A = this chain, B = another copy of it.
Amino acid sequence: MLSHVLAAPAQLKALQSFNEVDADLMYQVLEEAGKFVNDVVAPLNRSGDETGCRFDNGKVTTPPGFRDAYQAFWQAGWPALASATEDGGQGLPAVLEAVLYEMLSAANHGWTMAPGLLHGAYECIKHHASEELKAQYLEKVATGEWLATMCLTEPHAGSDLGLARTKAVLQADGSYQISGTKIFISGGEHDLSDNIVHLVLARLPDAPPGPKGLSLFLVPKFYADGSRSEAHCERIEEKMGLHGSPTCVMRFDAATGWIVGAPGRGLNAMFVMMNAARLHVALQGVGLLEAAWQKADAYAKERRQMRAPGRGKSAAEADLIAEHPAMRRILDTQRAWIDGARVLAYRTAIELDMLKHHPDTVRKEAAQRWCTFVTPVIKAAFTQQAFYGGSECLQVFGGHGYVREWGIEQNIRDARVAMIYEGTNEIQAIDLLVRKVLADGGQAFFTFLSELQSALPAGTPSSARVVQRLKVLEEVTRKLAASAAQDASLSYWVADDYLRAVAMVLMDWAWAQIEHSKVGTGLRWSQPAQAMQRWVMPEFSMRLGIVEQACETVTL
Query: What's the nearest-Cβ distance from chain B to residue A331, in Å?
Result: 13
Query: Which of A394, A426, A539 has the largest count of B CB atoms less than 10 A from its CB?
Result: A426
Report yes or no: B538 in contact with A550, Cβ–Cβ below 8 A.
no
Q: How many angstroms from the CA of A402 to the CA of B242 in the assembled complex? A: 10
Q: Which residue on chain B has the smallest CB distance to residue A247?
A: B403
Report yes or no: B305 in contact with A159, Cβ–Cβ below 8 A.
yes
Report yes or no: A158 in contact with B305, Cβ–Cβ below 8 A.
yes
Residues from chain B with a CB closer than 8 A to the CB of A493 are 325-326, 329
Query: What's the nearest-Cβ distance from chain B to residue A499, in Å?
Result: 11
Does A398 sit within 8 A of B, measured CB to CB?
yes
Residues from chain B with a CB closer than 8 A to the CB of A183 are 399
Other-chain residue from B160, B305, B495, B538 in contact with A157 (beta carbon distance below 8 A) = B305
Please give the count of copies of this chain that the complex contains: 2
Residues from chain B with a CB closer than 8 A to the CB of A402 are 239-242, 416-417, 420
Known: A305-B157, A305-B159, A310-B488. A546 touches B550 (CB 8 A): no
Does A523 sit within 8 A of B, measured CB to CB?
no
Does A62 sit within 8 A of B, measured CB to CB?
no
Q: Which residue on chain B has the smallest CB distance to residue A541?
A: B542
Query: What's the nearest-Cβ distance from chain B to residue A237, in Å?
Result: 4
Tell me which residues from 62 to 98 in chain A have a Cβ below 8 Å from any Cβ of chain B.
none
Report yes or no: A326 in contact with B420, Cβ–Cβ below 8 A.
no
Instruction: Choose, from A100-108, A404-412, A457-465, the stretch at the interface.
Output: A404-412
Does A515 sit within 8 A of B, measured CB to CB?
no
Residues from chain B with a CB closer than 8 A to the CB of A404 are 237-240
Q: How many angstroms from the CA of A546 to the CA of B240 in the assembled complex? A: 35
Query: What's the nearest-Cβ distance from chain B to residue A511, in Å?
Result: 17
Report yes or no: B424 in contact with A398, Cβ–Cβ below 8 A.
yes
Report yes or no: A426 in contact with B160, Cβ–Cβ below 8 A.
no
Tell me which residues from 411 to 432 in chain A have a Cβ below 8 Å from any Cβ of chain B.
412-413, 416-417, 419-421, 424-426, 429-430
Known: A496-B326, A549-B534. A160 touches B399 (CB 8 A): no
Q: How many angstroms from the CA of A241 to the CA of B421 in the assembled complex? A: 23
Report yes or no: A426 in contact with B327, Cβ–Cβ below 8 A.
yes
Scoring A residues 382 to 410 as 1 if CB is less than 8 Å from chain B, else 0, what string do you get? 00000110010011001111111100010
Chain A: residues with Cβ within 8 Å of the partner, total of 73
Report yes or no: B412 in contact with A240, Cβ–Cβ below 8 A.
yes
Q: Which residue on chain B has the smallest CB distance to residue A549?
A: B534
Query: What's the nearest-Cβ distance from chain B to residue A84, in Å?
Result: 33
Report yes or no: B326 in contact with A160, Cβ–Cβ below 8 A.
no
Report yes or no: A159 in contact with B306, Cβ–Cβ below 8 A.
yes
Residues from chain B with a CB closer than 8 A to the CB of A247 are 403
Q: How many angstroms from the CA of A401 to the CA of B418 in the assembled complex? A: 12
Does A28 sit within 8 A of B, measured CB to CB?
no
Q: How many angstroms from the CA of A221 to the CA of B114 in the assembled complex? A: 50
Residues from chain B with a CB closer than 8 A to the CB of A420 are 395, 398-399, 401-402
Tell me which residues from 188 to 233 in chain A have a Cβ below 8 Å from any Cβ of chain B.
209
Residues from chain B with a CB closer than 8 A to the CB of A535 are 546
Tell me which residues from 151 to 206 in chain A have a Cβ below 8 Å from any Cβ of chain B.
153, 157-160, 162-163, 183-184
Q: How many angstroms from the CA of A421 to the CA of B305 in the assembled complex? A: 15
Residues from chain B with a CB closer than 8 A to the CB of A239 are 402-404, 409
Does A360 sit within 8 A of B, measured CB to CB?
no
Report yes or no: A310 in contact with B395, Cβ–Cβ below 8 A.
no
Query: What's the nearest-Cβ distance from chain B to residue A161, in Å?
Result: 10
Does A317 sit within 8 A of B, measured CB to CB?
yes
Report yes or no: A238 in contact with B160, Cβ–Cβ below 8 A.
no
Residues from chain B with a CB closer than 8 A to the CB of A162 are 306
Q: How many angstroms from the CA of A147 to the CA of B329 in the assembled complex? A: 39
Q: Which residue on chain B has the smallest CB distance to residue A491?
A: B309
Does A58 sit within 8 A of B, measured CB to CB?
no
Q: Which residue on chain B has the smallest CB distance to residue A403?
A: B237
A158-B305, A399-B420, A413-B413 known; 5 new pairs, CB 8 Å cut-off, are A160-B305, A183-B399, A308-B489, A326-B430, A401-B420
Q: Which chain A residues have a beta carbon within 8 Å of chain B's beta carbons?
A: 153, 157-160, 162-163, 183-184, 209, 237-242, 247, 303, 305-306, 308-310, 317-318, 324-327, 329, 387-388, 391, 394-395, 398-405, 409, 412-413, 416-417, 419-421, 424-426, 429-430, 487-489, 492-493, 495-496, 534-535, 538-539, 541-542, 545-546, 549-550
12 contacts between A and B (CB under 8 A): A159-B306, A238-B405, A240-B409, A240-B412, A308-B489, A310-B488, A325-B489, A394-B416, A395-B425, A534-B550, A538-B542, A541-B545
